[in-house]
Structure 1
Amino acid sequence: MATPSNITGLGVILGTTDPEPLIEWYRAALEPLGARWEEHLLVIGQQTIIGFNQRDDIADSATEPGRHMINITVRDIRAAEKHLNAMGVTWVRPVEDTGGGWFFSTVVDPVGNYLQILQGPDTP
């Protein structure tokens, strides 16, 4: 029998020179899809958060945006696509059926990070 995992959550912290515009963008992009703002974090799912950190030791924009990719799995990627299009996001990879019931897409956030929106065959 497998031992239960000791891991209870996952968090991503996005460093930026100016967090407010980035926070506003992520809230506008993800709250309509089901994320919620709690105190100073965007809660994406059970035990999963995106945080934001003001930093003065980084560039204003991501120099290698594909190095770290935030992946969000959704129930209805076409609804997410419609919402993101209404926001006027920049698509790096438009929604694509990659086979086997999987759909992938990638948008770029205001500082150049990549956010992937995925839908799988067994997305709960």
Structure 2
Amino acid sequence: MTTPGNITGLGVVLGSTDPEPLIEWYRAALEPLGARWEGHMLIIGRQAVIGFDRRDDVADKAAEPGRHLVNIVVRDIRAAERHFNTLGVTWVRPVEDTGGGWIFSTLLDPDGNYLQVLQGPDTP
């Protein structure tokens, strides 16, 4: 039997020159899929968070949006796709079956960061 590790979760902080519209967009995009706003961050699943920070050391738009990818795993990617389409998102990579039971997509957030939405063969 292995001993549980010391890591208990994962978080990402999105820095922005104007985080309020970014927060509004992520809440509109992810709360209907099951995320919840708590304090100053979105709780994603049981042990992951997305935080937001006002920064003056970043550009208004992501210069290299593929450098950092926010990945969300969902149970029903087609339902997520329908929801995102109601928001008028820009798809970088439309929802597609990539083989091995994985379905994959990428869209842009308002700051030009990539949000990837995945469904795996054993997505719990």
Does TM-score exceed 0.5, indicating one fold?
A: yes
Distance 1:49 1:28 in 2: 16
Superposition TM-score, scaled by structure 1 size: 0.98
Aligned residues: 124
- Give ranges in structure 1 of 5+ residues lacking alignment: none
Aligned to 2:80: 80
Letter aligned with residue 49 of structure 2: I
User: Deviation at 1:2?
Assistant: 2.8
Distance 1:34 1:9 in 2: 17
For the aligned residue pairs, the C-alpha RMSD in angstroms reads 0.7
Aligned to 2:63: 63
Distance 2:93 2:71 in 1: 13
User: Deviation at 1:4?
Assistant: 1.4
Q: Please state whether the residue corresponding to 1:13 is helix, strand or coil.
A: strand
User: Deviation at 1:3?
Assistant: 2.9
Letter aligned with residue 61 of structure 2: S
User: Deviation at 1:29?
Assistant: 0.3
Aligned to 1:32: 32
User: Deviation at 1:111?
Assistant: 0.4
Aligned to 1:90: 90
Letter aligned with residue 79 of structure 2: A
Distance 1:2 1:63 in 2: 42
Q: Please state whether the residue corresponding to 2:67 is helix, strand or coil.
A: coil
> Percent of aligned positions with the same letter in both sequences?
78
Letter aligned with residue 55 of structure 1: R
Moved over 4 A (4+): none
Deviations 1:15-56 (A, max 9, x none): 000010000000000000000000111001112100000001
User: Deviation at 1:11?
Assistant: 0.4
Superposition TM-score, scaled by structure 2 size: 0.98
Deviations 1:66-122 (A, max 9, x none): 000000000000000000011000000000001111000000000000000000010
Q: Please state whether the residue corresponding to 1:88 is helix, strand or coil.
A: coil
